[in-house]
Structures are given as C-alpha cells and as structure tokens.
Amino acid sequence: ITVVTWNVGTAMPPNDVTSLLHLNTGETNDVDMIAIGLQEVNSKINKRLKDALFTDQWSELFMDVLSPFHFILVSTVRMQGVILLVFAKYYHLPFLHDIQTDCTRTGLGGYWGNKGGVSVRLSIFGHMVCFLNCHLPAHLEKAEQRKEDFTTILHMQQFEGPVANGILDHDLVFWFGDLNFRIESLDICFVKYAIDSNVLSQLWEKDQLNIAKSTWPVLRGFQEGPLNFPPTFKFDVGTNKYDSSAKKRKPAWTDRILWKIKSPSKELGTGGHRPSQGMLSVSQLCYCSHMEYTVSDHKPVAAIFAVQFASKVDKPLVEIYVADEWSRPEQAVVRYKMAVGFHRSSWDWIGLYRVGFRHPKDYVSYVWARSDDGERCLEKQLYAQVMFSEEALPKGNGEYILGYYSNTSSSIAGVTEPFQISLPRSEEGGSSTDSSGSSSEEDDSTLVLLAPKSRSPSPGKMKRHRSRSPSLAKFQGLILRPSSRDRGTSRSPSPQNRRSLPMSIPTIHLPQEKLGHPGVNSKELGQASEGPEGSSFYQTLQEQGGLRRISADSSLARADPRNLGLLPALRLEMIDQVLGRQRETADQGYYPCPRMSPTSPPGYGTSPEGNSP
C-alpha cells in the first residue's frame, strides 16, 4: 500500500506525478493500493462550483496517470480543500467491501471545513482498514489545539455496520496529512544548520509529534518511520529554498504518515487466552519526501507499506464467465454466478470496460443484471445469463473487462480477466460508433463519478457526446435563453453576422400563423444579414419552390437574430435583477414588453395586469 500526502497550497497540478507515486520504479508492480491525501486544494467559490459539476483537476490528474497501470478509483471524499482518493488494482475490486466515507469540520469551531479530517474505510480481503487524511491547525503554539481537533475527529467519525464503527476500531488505520506539528525550542539558525549538515536526528527529539506520541493517550499505538528526509515546510514556491520572506518561518516536518494496528487486548481467544501475535503485520518499506515538486510551499511525502494478513477472503461475491474473444455479436453472452449471502438488487448491472478504465462508472456499455430467474439462480446457486445487444458493443479491436456492479454496496462485486473484442466496423457508421465507445463514454463517466450513489446512467446517455458545459438551467435564480442547439439551428453563424448588433434590440412578436408557415421549419432557417445601417435584417427561407425574401418591414425581419438562434448567445440574469428592473419601470408609469420565446404561450405579455414572473 502506497500512501501520499501533499499540501498543494491552492496550486494547479504539475504536469507529471509519476515519481511521486513511484510509478517509474519496479515497486509499482508490487503495489496493490494507493491512498492520496491532499490539503489546500483551491476551493474558492468559482472553482468549487466547477469542481462540483465536474471532477476536480487533481483527481483527474491522478486517475489519468494511474489508469494505465491498472489502478481504479475505489472511493473519494472531499471537504472544501481536503481531498482523499483511494485506488486499487482492478483485480482486487471484488474483494473490497463495505466502502464508506466520512468528514469532520474543525475550522471556526466546527463550522468551516478548511481544517478537519476526511476518511475512507473499507474491508480489504476481510480485514477492516481506514485511511484518515487530516489538516490540523497551524503555528507552533497550537499543539494543544491540534490534540483537541484530532480527538474530535476520532470521536465524530462513525461508520455503519456491525464492526469497526469508530476509526480506532479498524484492524489497521493510516493517519496522514498536513498535521502541522512544529519543532520546539531550537532557533531557526540551528534548525537550518542541522538540515544543511544532514544531522536531522538532532531535531527529532524537539519535534512536537514525536513528543506527543509518548505523552498523549490519544496517540498511543501510532507508529511512524524515521524522519530521514529534510523538513517539508516552508519553502519559497518554485524553489527548494526555505522561507525567505519577512516571516522566515522555521522549517518543520508538518506533513506526516503514521499507522496503527488494532490492539488485540480485547480479542480473547478460546479459553480466555490472547490470540497469537502476528495476525496482522505492517512493514514500512519507504518513507521519503519529494523535493522535485515546487508548485507549493510544502513538499509531498510518500510511504510504501507491506501489509501481511493472516487470512484472506479470496472468493468474489459474483463470478463472471465469458468467452476469450467476441468476434460476432451473438458471442456477447455473459454468464454469472452469485455467492450465497450476496445481496442482489434489480438495479445491479454488468459493465463492459476498456482495459485501463479509471473508475467503476467508466464503462463503454452495460447491461442490466435482471435475469428472469435471478432469484432462483441465487437461491439454488445456478448460473444466470444476460447478453449485450449489437448496438451496445464497441466496433474494432481491443481488450476489455467485464465487471458486475452491485448497487447495494456501490462497488464492483466481480470482474473477468481481459478478453478480446474484434468486431468489424460498419462502412457507414463504424467509425462514429467506435469513437462513441472510446471517447464519449470515457469522458461522460467522469460526470457520473460525481454521483457515486446513482444506480446507473440512463442508457440514452451512452449515445451522446459529453458537453463540458453543465446544464445551468438546474440552478435556481437564473433565467436562461434557449441555446441554438435547443432550437435546432446552426451553431456556426456566417461571417457577416459577427458584426456588432444595434444597441436597441427590437422585441419579437410573431403571430402563430407565421411561425407555423407550411413547408418551413426551424432547421431550414438560413443566416441573417445586416443592412449597411445596422438596423434592418433580412431573412431567407427555403421552401419547396425556391427562395423567398422577407421585407424589412415584417416582424420576422425586425426580430432579434439571437432570439431566432442565429447567433450562439447565452444570457444569464438573476431573477432578483429582472424583477428589480420591472419594478423600476412600473414605478415610472410604463411596462416593458417581455421577450418572447418559442415556448411562451399565446398572448403572453400583452397586458401588464395579471402577469406573474
């Protein structure tokens, strides 16, 4: 298990994190899981809104880097700028159960999440493990406050289930983050001298966390490897030089990784004897900082652990059987068998994933696991069978994996080994179908990741390309004009339409008979051209008999081109602002004529009385 902690100081992600994750060494082949804790991720309101709609840039970066190494995002949790990500190799997913997350705010007396802790707990091969990422109060004199906050986090975070309800109830706990412990007593000159002279051991006994581990009862049992790397705080951003500002903060090991094995004192064996030691052992193979990253005033810290369990639950809840290759659509048959005690749901589904997928919702296509005799198969331990439709299968050649997604546990309960799909591309739509399977589904899954409790996206979503623009109409308090796509018109206006529009845009009032002219529809509207004075518009319509020009005096010609969908314009207005202008104009004795939209009812806005916004 690799654990990483990094206070990123609101910085943008670097271009490469392979060395931080030890992906450029042979150690990667032996790593089964990776936990990444970040602090001070940019959480300003505009950035937080975008991250709420899409996956944040840091999570995207780590998924992009780790997926080629077959690491899948198991779970993630965020509290403002504190993020925790847990990855595992895809073939371990069926053995990761009871995945839960929690977070505790400790900033501003518990009302603000700039400080606090986030956690992911799960059962790994039948053993309960908890990852806890914390950002504790800063400054040398706040050691007691750090103690109180950590105690609060341990007390507040509770999980559901029959076992391991509290953090310290887990068999193994990894505690890491920007813990903000400082070096006491020694002045800054001596600290820098010890660092430059590489005699770091002279600083260990004055480290607040080392002192606390032997004096604070709440830290009893927590272990940490030797601090054989220089203090990781505070650096001038963009350099490896310690703080040169007027504050000249003393260097300190603020970024730490600790672990704790559950004490066996309460677990008495038969006859009241304590069970044999060695049921669970943890060895730290690496504990280091990475000086090559300079985007923050903190240096990231990484540790690699070898965890030895006494036993291992190695039978998946769902076993999936599939042919070695699908070369014809009729071969896309999936047989699966559910273990006794598996909590089947009618919302379970089987996903088809490309090798190198990023998270459980990053599928190419899926089929509902709704076999007609599913309950009978579960009860009598028989094989159930489903089949992928030809339209859902990706065209071309590639390696894929099948995974059974359990809606009850929100995790993958069974996977297959990689197998080959070799389906011919159709002459007409083969390329578009394949691109839809390779790019659209992979991109769209990133949005699904934001709702891990969702059962599954609608099958219709698989045919649409993902738009990077969210559906802003979901936000209350915004008035949206229909986009050109909604009205079916071209999104590429002609060059002459790029000229500026008159300051006073006329309001459109089109009679129903003109809007519904026979032989004309919205998709057949051409491009509007502007007169030399910029005040008259001409509209060309295509009919069965040819072209017809509308005079400048007609209401259609005077219409706002943006209302007709000829220009890709989006106007956002707060409701309070609109109502405020209406009240002002009403007080002045006249009423503004509201703009008409294609969905406005007939007669709307003709009388100021009786109109409600």
Question: Tens digits of per-residue pLDDT, 488-527?
Answer: 433 333 334 434 444 444 444 444 444 444 444 444 444 4
The DSSP annotation for 436-502 comes to IIIIIHHHHHHHHHT-TT-----GGGGGSPPPSS--GGGSTTEEEPPPTTTTT--SS--GGGGSPPP
Name the residue among 104, 156, 155, 131 with its Cα closest to residue 260.
131
The pLDDT, as a whole number, for residue 392 is 95
- According to DSSP H, which parts of 564-608 are helical? 575-587
Q: Which residues touch 600 (CB under 8 Å, ≥6 apart)?
A: none
Position 460 pLDDT exceeds 70? no
pLDDT above 80 (res 532): no
Query: 435: which 2 tokens?
Result: 């691109």
Decide: 87 and 33 in contact? Cβ < 8 Å: yes
Residue 362 backbone phi and psi in degrees, to 5: -90, 55
CA angle 465, 470, 472 (to 5 degrees): 140
Assign domain 318-372+381-423 one CATH number from 2.60.40.2840, 3.50.50.60, 3.40.50.300, 3.40.50.620.
Answer: 2.60.40.2840
- Count CB-CB contacts under 10 A for residue 387: 13
**425 φ/ψ angles, rounded to the nearest 5 degrees:** -80, 135
Whether pTM exceeds 0.75:
no
List the one residue out of 223, 229, 198 whose CA is nearest residue 298: 229
Per-residue model confidence (pLDDT) at position 339:
92
Q: What percent of the chain has pLDDT over 90?
A: 57
Task: Check pLDDT > 80 for residue 343.
Answer: yes
More confident of the two residues 373 and 268: 373
CATH assignment, 2-265+279-308: 3.60.10.10
Cα distances (angstroms) measured from residue 211 to each of 143, 173, 182, 203, 205: 11, 20, 11, 12, 7
Name which of 142-146, 225-229, 528-532 the model is least confident about.
528-532
Mean pLDDT of the chain: 77
74 falls in which pLDDT band (50, 70, 90)?
very high
Arithmetic mean of pLDDT, 69-79: 97
Residue 445 pLDDT: 39
- CA proximity to 480, closest of 582, 571, 561, 564: 571
**Has residue 446 got a pLDDT over 70?**
no
Q: What does the pLDDT read at residue 569? A: 46
Q: Higher-confidence residue: 437 or 15?
A: 15
Same fold, 2-265+279-308 and 318-372+381-423: no
Are 207 and 163 in contact by the 8 Å Cβ rule? The answer is no
Instruction: Give the mean pLDDT of 126-133.
Output: 97
Between the alpha carbon of residue 72 and those of residues 66, 433, 500, the distances in Å are 8, 25, 50
Mean pLDDT of 219-223: 97
Name beta bridge partners: 547: 542
pLDDT tens digits for range 391-416: 999 999 999 999 999 999 999 999 99
Q: What pLDDT was estimated at residue 77?
A: 97
pLDDT of residue 480: 42
Tell whether the torsion through CA atoms of 94, 360, 56 and 28 is positive or negative: positive
Average pLDDT over residues 89-112: 93
pLDDT of residue 546: 46
Long-range contacts, stretch 524-527, CB < 8 angstroms, 24+ apart: 525/489, 525/564, 525/565, 525/566, 527/490, 527/493, 527/494, 527/496, 527/497, 527/566
Examine the pLDDT at 132 and tell me if it is beyond 80. yes
Greater confidence, 349 or 457?
349
- Residue ranges per domain, the chain? 2-265+279-308, 318-372+381-423
Q: What percentage of residues in the chain have a pLDDT greater than 70?
A: 65
Cβ atoms of 69 and 87 within 8 Å: the answer is no
Across 167-189, average pLDDT: 97
Tokens encoding 8? 């990123």
104, 156 contact by CB (below 8 A): yes
State residue 573's pLDDT score. 55
